[in-house]
Amino acid sequence: MMADGETARVRACLGGFRWHGLECRPYKEEGDAAFRNISRQILFDEPAQDCELRYFEMGAGGYSSLERHQHTHAVIVLRGRGQCLLGTTVRKVATFDLVTIPAWTWHQFRATDAEPFGFLCMVNRVRDRPQLPSESDLAALKSFPEVAAFLSS
Ligand code: MN
């Protein structure tokens, strides 16, 4: 028996990493963080589950915001390749790689190819607001040459 609020359904994939009935939204509603050429689709957001599953996709030159927060992310790359900043390291990631982002870990994803770079990201439905780096946080991150090169790419 289904609990109240759950709807049994199949959403057809339309191709091109789009799904029937799902809006392709801006990456974030608020405009206080720097990001570029990135979209968001919310695939699952059921009150009976404590998580949301989103699909983010960035085009060439795209990147997500550089941030950290109490809540964690579980990321599965679905399309293309890119790089991610994880704390003070930069890692290359490609299709089907899994990325774990613990609490309070600086993170940012960047497309590195001319092709789209897309990933699933699972998060808690109720979560704290991301913290953006201060000038001193940025200076500390940039003291790592690999991170400085990533942030200026
Ligand atoms: Mn985040």
Ligand 1 centroid, distance to 8 Cα (angstroms): 29
Residue given tokens 């998060």 in the structure block: 123
Nearest residue to 132 via CA among 152, 100, 107: 107
Ligand 1 centroid, distance to 123 Cα (angstroms): 9
The answer to whether residues 40 and 59 touch, using CB atoms and an 8 Å cutoff, is no
Residues forming the active site: 121
Residue 133 is predicted with a pLDDT of 96
pTM, two decimals, is: 0.91
pLDDT tens digit string along 54-102?
A: 999 999 989 999 999 999 999 999 999 999 999 999 999 999 999 999 9
